Structure 1
Amino acid sequence: MERAGENMSGPFPKTVRDLSDVSTVHGLRYVLNGKACYLDRLLWTLICVTATGIGLFMSAQLWLHWQSNPVVTTIATASLPITNLDFPAITLCSPGNDIESLTKLPLILDGFWTEFWNNSEHEMAFEDMDRTSQGLVLTEFMIQMVPGWPLELTLEEFLLHMTTDHDALIKTFIIAKYLNDPLDKRPAFDILLNPARANEMEQVQSDIKEKVKQLFSAMDFVSEQVHEILLGVLWFTGLPCEKLLQTCVWKGRKIPCSLLFHLIPTDIGFCCSFNHDPLVVMLKNSSFANILQRIENKYQDLGPGAQIRHQKRYINYSFSPQAGKHNGLLVVLDMKSHDLTSTSVMEDFLGIHASVTPKNQFPMMNSNSFLVSPGMETQVEITGKKISATATLRNTLDPTERNCFFTDEYPLQLFSNYTMTNCWMECLMNLSKKALRQHETCIPWNFPTKIEPPCKPISHQLFLEEFNYLDMNKIIGTEVCRPNCGGTEYTTSISSAPFRPCTHANFGLTRFCTLERYGAKPQKWADNVLEQYQEWLEGRDMPDYLLDLQSPQRTTKQDFIFHSEAQTREFPGNYNAFDRDIAVINFFFSHPVAIELISAPSMTWAQYVSSVGGLLGLFIGFSVISGIEILYWFTIGYAENVHADKRIRKISVESSKSQSTQNTSFSAFVG
């Protein structure tokens, strides 16, 4: 068979032949072997092209995977001791308002109150007045301290307007108006239900809205002094922690709840929070946080744990988690639904909101909470997962590539440290403010802020409608809120069961059936004990040692709207607190270890080059030296061959001339 390339000459073919003799690339010598037949060279060419193509294809796939998945998260350990985690922040929010506690307002606003009281002409001490007189004096205080406060607006009405759904409150006012009209014998609900009275209803609504608008139009909420007074008043819009929390047990040790919980603003109002970062730490240079801190300090000094609080440094307890139901936080709650203010409950369910979040995160209860039902014990099993990130991740990838932020990497306007929830909170607030700017520049009174004054009722309602129902699709892509690169995530598993009655089976054994006289009140067994004493005493006075017993039977306030027999059957005036008010909730870690995940770049340039080198080396034996060989032979080697070829040609030409001269001389001699 004819050999290919046998007559090939010149510097380039020689360079190719030289490269094929020494190349470390597999198969190249067979492709470039000039002595091989065409069929052999074609076969090896197909083999080399196929192998090279596969190697390059897999290298390209590796590149695409690297670019689309720049971060890889793996399990660093599945046995991280939970003592390396923080116990999460626990937030509990009660329904409704309890304005009875407003009588403590002079004590927490003592500076403003002293100025007011010294200029007043009241002869009787405030604490000696009846509840109605105290309400009038508190309204008088607000008239003097808040510029533009209308004389006809009471403090109680102000709180209703500031904390209740505006449209629902107007309907309540309408019902009250027609209930109190002696000339109109029709049911008060008729104006809401009768289509023929739609125009009348619309007119009444318009009149009330206009009246409310006029009441608040002249009020000035801008100054920091007014802001502090308003926050002091609104502090009492939720059930105070000292009333909501009856008993707190931390790691089996009973501790006054006032040492463990403090009031914190959330997106649904003021709530009680455990182990949460203080507002002055969580927020940047915020007068809002400073005001609330001062109010809380004064309010706590009035509570039952005031004397112990000043010795808090002597109390040895740690918020480091431990495994087991008895090593968590157990709380006995009392919702005191019989004390709630009219038109203050905006939920259909009977229960409270609870959440488990990282301690540096603003509690958004509308999106991240669960419900705790009264009359039941609820077990909340917590599982923690720690997420860490390598220094290489921060140094080699920007936030868009790794799709996360470190806590100090993305500065927020309000919050000191970045979390995705804090970022979304700011984002939603900013977008809501933009939508509301045509009405009023303000922030709801329970939202964190730096300088904006609290919203008035109509603007408050509009702001919350924007905030709660904002189309998230409009935000994603326009506002950058990425996940945290590190931190701790908590998941919960919740179970509950109803309370067991006190019987011979559990007497002296369970929390509510031990006859402990100085525990939480009311006592579940009080009615049974008092009944036996009454039978024995036959009308005589109860002994002094029984006077602190409190019956669980409670009486609701008279319902001025729904007071029919049907309503009485559904919600009788008397009820047992252990059915509708008392709840027990236990937060605990079930496992002594947690999972730690670590995020790192899925690949570095060194790893990518190594992987590509491995693929090309596997398929064609290509390496860096192979590349240098090819570069060498097609530069220096080719130049040397060109030079050698020129020298050979020159010698050949000179040899040809010499030979020609010799031939000519010989011919002349012969001739």
Structure 2
Amino acid sequence: MKPKQPVLRHNGPLFVNIRHVLVGEGAIAHSGIKRGFVRKSATVSNIDSYFSKNNLNLFDKSGITNSEGAEPAEKPIRSSNPTILERIRKFCSDSSLHVVKYIPDRDRHTIERLFWSFIFTLSVCVSVVPIQQAWSRYRDDSLSVVMQQSEYPVWSIPFPEVVICNEAPVRADVTKNMKNDAETFKNFSLFCTKYPPPEGSSFMKEGDIIDFVKKFLIPLNEFAINGFAFSQTDKMETVNISTKRLTPRFSNFGLCYSFNALPHGQFFKDESSLVFEDREDATKHYWGLDSGYTNSWFDEMPVPKRALGSGYKYSYGILLKRKKNLAFPNCAHPNAGFKIAVKNPADAFSKEDDFMRVAMGRGTNFLITPKLVTTDNAVRSSMDPTVRECYFQDETSLFHYKHYTRKNCQSECLSNLTMTACNCVEFYMPRKLKLKDIKYNLNIFYRDERY
């Protein structure tokens, strides 16, 4: 229907004009116009006032009818404080995820809503599992080891310590006149596995062990002839074995000798180990695990020594021998030779796996490839030791050793457990000559077990 031109008057033509304009919008709108203005004068001011009061609603509730003439059902009034369930439904309906929209939709079938709920739960689980795995890898392995092909001068690291142990240490000539008593068998049980200690025997004292070693064990000059080693002048030189080149150290094999070892005072704390002979030189410059060498390469040779290059020219060699009928046969097997260990000068040695057997009548060469592992300073400053599960030298210390390393920690833990179990230790184990509080040793064990 074509609308007429509006006429601004205070009578019906204005009402008729508006009615004709809204007829095309539908019958309900037409009915609303009729009920709303039938009893009022159709002025412009009245119409504007009516629209503003009813929020642009052209009809009131009492005038709304459907096509059948019945009034529609009254809509529920929304509460100003919605419940949690209503908030969840509102969130799901406004979500950008299609699956989430379908779950609270009441117009969909229950089976369909359950299906979309299962799909949503499955998607969350598939996403959470790799996230949890990534977090576990970061928590357990938060530090990454990067192998960089960087070259360092060989004199920036120490030459390895070479430990020499005789598999037939007991002399045969002194055993001919020894007494066949429990005390002698007790002493031999320390170095010969064929002689277990008799039951009920007392423990050996520190001084008795030293006297027994000097009397019954083969001295160094009896099985080591001579050797060669690098010198500060970059030349090979013949080494007199009887000099202070080799340091005596006790181990589970008895008395061993070490080349390029740290002095006793730089390796142990106070009197934590049995000392056979102290050869420490207070004028030497020493090396540290974290600090390294503090002096330049052309200064006085520090302790431990370092080579100025690689190859045979900067190696260490020694000639070993064993005279017939010199070793006590009941204390070693017929093919007994020597055991050699090559290790870090700051590490303890007490396990048989660290040694390699050298047979008699042949030459044996050891090729050593050094590996230098460094840690970024950010790890030291930003990460707590409990997170990285390791300690630096300045963060903790051991009770017997001056250098905190894995092998030193294991050796000290074994000594503490042995002391706790039987109130005694092996003669080569670290311990205090004057017993300290056993509880303190246990605390060290549980603290250092994480290393």
Under a length normalisation based on structure 1, what TM-score does the superposition of the two structures give? 0.40
Query: Between Structure 1 and Structure 2, which shows a larger proportion of strand residues?
Result: 1
Partner residue in 2 for 1:254: 237
CA distance in 2, matches of 1:381, 1:387: 19
Q: Is the 8 A contact 1:27 1:48 kept in 2?
A: no
Task: Assess, with a 3 A threshold, how the Cα gap between structure 1 residues 356 and 15 changes in structure 2: closer, same or farther.
Answer: same
**Quick one: which of 165, 168, 189 aligns to 2:192?**
165
- The yes-or-no answer on 1:79 pairing with 2:150 is yes
Task: Assess, with a 3 A threshold, how the Cα gap between structure 1 residues 241 and 81 changes in structure 2: closer, same or farther.
Answer: farther
CA deviation map 1:29-75 (0-9, x unaligned): 98299999859x969888766654543343333334444x2444422
**Quick one: which of 239, 248, 254 aligns to 1:263?**
248
- The yes-or-no answer on 1:62 pairing with 2:134 is yes
Shift of 1:433: 3.6
Alignment of 1:31-430 (within 5 A): 31=101, 38=108, 51-67=123-139, 69-81=140-152, 83=154, 84-97=156-169, 161=188, 163-165=190-192, 168=195, 221=205, 227=206, 230-231=209-210, 234-235=213-214, 237-243=216-222, 244-250=224-230, 253-256=236-239, 257=241, 258-286=243-271, 288=273, 292-293=277-278, 319-321=305-307, 324-338=310-324, 340-342=326-328, 345-390=331-376, 396-399=383-386, 402-430=388-416
Q: Structure 1 counterpart of 2:250, which letter?
A: P
Shift of 1:264: 1.7
Shift of 1:285: 0.8
CA deviation map 1:112-147 (0-9, x unaligned): xxxxxxxxxxxxxxxxxxxx9xx9xxx9xxxxxxxx
Task: Assess, with a 3 A threshold, how the Cα gap between structure 1 residues 335 and 73 changes in structure 2: closer, same or farther.
Answer: farther
SS at match of 1:353: strand
Q: Structure 2 counterpart of 1:380, which letter?
A: F
SS at match of 1:277: coil
Shift of 1:92: 0.8
CA deviation map 1:265-302 (0-9, x unaligned): 222222111222222111111175666316x89xxxxx
Higher relative contact order (CA 8 A, sep 6+): 1
Q: Is the 8 A contact 1:92 1:354 kept in 2?
A: yes
Q: Structure 1 counterpart of 2:128, which letter?
A: L
Q: Structure 2 counterpart of 1:275, which letter?
A: N
Alignment of 1:504-523 (within 5 A): none
Q: Is the 8 A contact 1:97 1:344 kept in 2?
A: no
Q: Structure 1 counterpart of 2:415, which letter?
A: M
CA distance in 2, matches of 1:268, 1:74: 36
CA distance in 2, matches of 1:87, 1:376: 24
CA distance in 1, matches of 2:218, 2:135: 59
Alignment of 1:629-648 (within 5 A): none
Task: Assess, with a 3 A threshold, how the Cα gap between structure 1 residues 481 and 255 changes in structure 2: closer, same or farther.
Answer: farther
Q: Structure 1 counterpart of 2:145, which letter?
A: T
Q: Is the 8 A contact 2:246 2:260 kept in 1?
A: yes
CA distance in 2, matches of 1:287, 1:74: 35
Task: Assess, with a 3 A threshold, how the Cα gap between structure 1 residues 404 and 424 changes in structure 2: closer, same or farther.
Answer: same
Task: Assess, with a 3 A threshold, how the Cα gap between structure 1 residues 316 and 162 changes in structure 2: closer, same or farther.
Answer: same
CA deviation map 1:539-580 (0-9, x unaligned): xxxxxxxxxxxxxxxxxxxxxxxxxxxxxxxxxxxxxxxxxx
SS at match of 2:407: helix
Q: Is the 8 A contact 1:263 1:270 kept in 2?
A: yes
Q: Is the 8 A contact 1:231 1:445 kept in 2?
A: no
Partner residue in 2 for 1:184: none
Indicate the RMSD between aligned Cα atoms, in angstroms.
Answer: 5.1
Task: Assess, with a 3 A threshold, how the Cα gap between structure 1 residues 162 and 52 changes in structure 2: closer, same or farther.
Answer: closer
CA distance in 2, matches of 1:348, 1:430: 36
SS at match of 1:385: coil
Shift of 1:414: 1.8
SS at match of 1:387: coil
% identical equivalent positions? 16
CA distance in 1, matches of 2:104, 2:334: 91
Q: Is the 8 A contact 1:282 1:360 kept in 2?
A: yes
Q: Structure 1 counterpart of 2:162, which letter?
A: I
Task: Assess, with a 3 A threshold, how the Cα gap between structure 1 residues 350 and 322 changes in structure 2: closer, same or farther.
Answer: farther
CA distance in 2, matches of 1:166, 1:19: 79
Q: Is the 8 A contact 2:162 2:340 kept in 1?
A: yes
Task: Assess, with a 3 A threshold, how the Cα gap between structure 1 residues 326 and 370 changes in structure 2: closer, same or farther.
Answer: same
SS at match of 1:92: strand
SS at match of 2:130: helix
Q: Is the 8 A contact 1:284 1:414 kept in 2?
A: yes
Q: Is the 8 A contact 1:321 1:327 kept in 2?
A: no
SS at match of 1:81: coil
Partner residue in 2 for 1:27: 97
CA distance in 1, matches of 2:349, 2:274: 15
Partner residue in 1 for 2:13: none
Question: Gaps (5+ residues) in structure 1?
Answer: 1-6, 103-131, 140-151, 171-208, 222-226, 298-312, 454-474, 485-671
Task: Assess, with a 3 A threshold, how the Cα gap between structure 1 residues 237 and 91 changes in structure 2: closer, same or farther.
Answer: farther
CA deviation map 1:591-640 (0-9, x unaligned): xxxxxxxxxxxxxxxxxxxxxxxxxxxxxxxxxxxxxxxxxxxxxxxxxx
- The yes-or-no answer on 1:448 pairing with 2:434 is no
Shift of 1:341: 4.1
SS at match of 2:339: strand
Shift of 1:261: 2.2
Q: Is the 8 A contact 1:268 1:446 kept in 2?
A: no
SS at match of 2:354: coil
Partner residue in 2 for 1:121: none
Q: Structure 2 counterpart of 1:448, which letter?
A: P
Query: Between Structure 1 and Structure 2, which shows a larger proportion of helix residues?
Result: 1
SS at match of 1:413: coil
Shift of 1:392: 5.7
SS at match of 1:56: helix
CA distance in 1, matches of 2:90, 2:193: 91
Shift of 1:393: 5.0
Under a length normalisation based on structure 2, what TM-score does the superposition of the two structures give? 0.56
SS at match of 1:361: coil
CA distance in 2, matches of 1:96, 1:435: 31
CA distance in 1, matches of 2:194, 2:120: 79
Task: Assess, with a 3 A threshold, how the Cα gap between structure 1 residues 60 and 446 changes in structure 2: closer, same or farther.
Answer: closer
Question: Gaps (5+ residues) in structure 2?
Answer: 1-74, 282-298, 436-441
Alignment of 1:407-556 (within 5 A): 407-437=393-423, 441=424, 443-451=425-433, 482=449
SS at match of 1:340: coil
